[in-house]
């Protein structure tokens, strides 16, 4: 940025776009997961509006799945305000037969990793409050835990 120019306003998330092999199942899964409203849908596209106002755009794809080693977005992460809200989400998902594949704490984030109908990883997480981060050093891979034991 040149001197004399004003600071740029940081962008906000407007939309997340995902190509889908199992389009109808993906629309239903993400709609349920996010509590989203379907703003538009045809045979190839669905625009879901999340309660926070951003969009999830799902597009039907005829492409074969890419190997996990390919570059790209490893998967979305949805954030809850705190551990209590994450626990509530865990219980709500469990009641619908949706179970996490992995649960981990890394000192900064508590995450539950789910798989959508296409097998993509979807993290549901909450951040550890900044004042508690120093007590638990960052461990990038995280320590696995049993969410049923932690969240009751």
Strand partners, 56: 16, 48
pLDDT for position 49: 92
Task: Look at residue 130 in the predicted model and tell me its pLDDT.
Answer: 81
Report pLDDT for 14.
78
- The pairing of strands 15-20 and 55-60 is parallel
Least confident span in 4-8, 29-33, 108-112: 4-8
Structure tokens at 29: 């899964």
| Angle, alpha carbons 60-64-65 (nearest 5°) | 90
Tell me what pLDDT residue 88 has: 93
Q: Residue 87: its pLDDT value, please?
A: 94
Please state the pTM of the whole predicted model: 0.75
Query: Which pLDDT value is given to residue 1?
Result: 45
Q: Once rounded to an integer, what is the mean pLDDT over residues 41-61?
A: 90
List, for residues 64-109, the tens digit of each pLDDT value. 666 655 566 667 888 899 999 999 999 999 998 999 999 999 888 8
Rounded to 5°, the CA angle 101-14-108 comes to 45
- Tens of pLDDT, residue by residue over 16-25, are 888 888 999 9
Mean pLDDT of 116-130: 89
Q: What are phi and psi of 20, to 5 degrees?
A: -125, 135
């Amino acid at each position: 940025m040149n001197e004399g120019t004003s600071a740029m306003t940081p962008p906000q998330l407007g939309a997340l776009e995902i190509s889908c092999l199992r389009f109808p199942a993906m629309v239903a899964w993400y709609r349920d997961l996010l509590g989203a409203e379907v703003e538009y849908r045809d045979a190839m596209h669905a625009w879901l509006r999340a309660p926070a106002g951003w969009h999830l755009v799902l597009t039907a794809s005829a492409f074969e799945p890419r190997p996990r080693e390919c570059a790209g977005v490893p998967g979305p992460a949805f954030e809850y305000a705190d551990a209590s809200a994450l626990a509530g989400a865990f219980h709500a998902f469990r009641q619908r037969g949706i179970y996490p594949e992995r649960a981990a704490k890394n000192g900064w984030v508590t995450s539950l990793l789910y798989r959508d109908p296409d097998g993509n990883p979807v993290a549901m997480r909450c951040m550890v409050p900044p004042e508690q981060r120093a007590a638990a050093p960052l461990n990038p891979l995280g320590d696995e835990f049993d969410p049923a034991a932690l969240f009751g």
